[in-house]
């Protein structure tokens, strides 16, 4: 199966999410070391940061609930992987990857539905 433009976009967004979040995290670690308390303090430093944190948590919870149901409905393997990728490194990586995998799953299902029931059989 060839990649669609939308699937390539999902992969690009996952790569951008990984590069962006990891760049910021590595810069924090360079300056502060592995200071989880300092990281959380920075996330709560003002109303803007707290607003972004609330947005991230609420959207991540909604995404995870939908993703778990959708992956089950489509019989997608390894759905636990998207939960893990949401927590480490971030939802900006896991969501585009899940959307990519979902799109491929649907593409495969649609291709299977288009094949005739006797495809590959030789009639005599």
pLDDT of residue 50: 95
Asked if residue 97 lies in contact with residue 82, where contact means CB atoms within 8 angstroms, the answer is: yes
- C-alpha to C-alpha distances, 28 to 32, 38, 45, nearest whole angstrom: 6, 10, 15
From residue 112, how far is each of 39, 101, 106, 120, 123 by CA, in Å? 48, 17, 10, 13, 21
pTM of the model: 0.84
pLDDT at position 124, please? Answer: 47
pLDDT at 30: 96
Q: How many CB atoms lie within 10 A of CB 97?
A: 20
**What's the whole-number mean pLDDT along residues 13-38?**
95
pLDDT of residue 117: 56
How big is the chain by its Cα radius of gyration, in Å? 20
Question: What percent of the chain stands above pLDDT 90?
Answer: 85
Cβ of 74: how many Cβ atoms within 10 Å? 14
Q: What is the pLDDT of residues 51-84, one digit of tens each?
A: 999 999 999 999 999 999 999 999 999 999 999 9
If one counts every other C-beta atom within 10 angstroms of the C-beta of residue 93, the result is: 23
């Amino acid at each position: 199966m060839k990649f669609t433009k939308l699937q390539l976009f999902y992969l690009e967004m996952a790569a951008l999410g990984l590069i962006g979040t990891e760049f910021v995290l590595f810069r924090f670690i360079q300056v502060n070391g592995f200071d989880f308390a300092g990281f959380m303090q920075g996330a709560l430093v003002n109303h803007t940061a707290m607003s972004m944190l609330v947005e991230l948590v609420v959207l991540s919870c909604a995404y995870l609930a939908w993703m778990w149901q959708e992956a089950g409905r489509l019989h997608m393997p390894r759905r636990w992987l998207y939960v893990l990728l949401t927590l480490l490194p971030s939802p900006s990586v896991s969501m585009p990857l899940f959307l990519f995998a979902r799109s491929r799953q649907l593409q495969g299902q649609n291709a299977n539905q288009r094949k005739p029931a006797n495809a590959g059989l030789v009639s005599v």
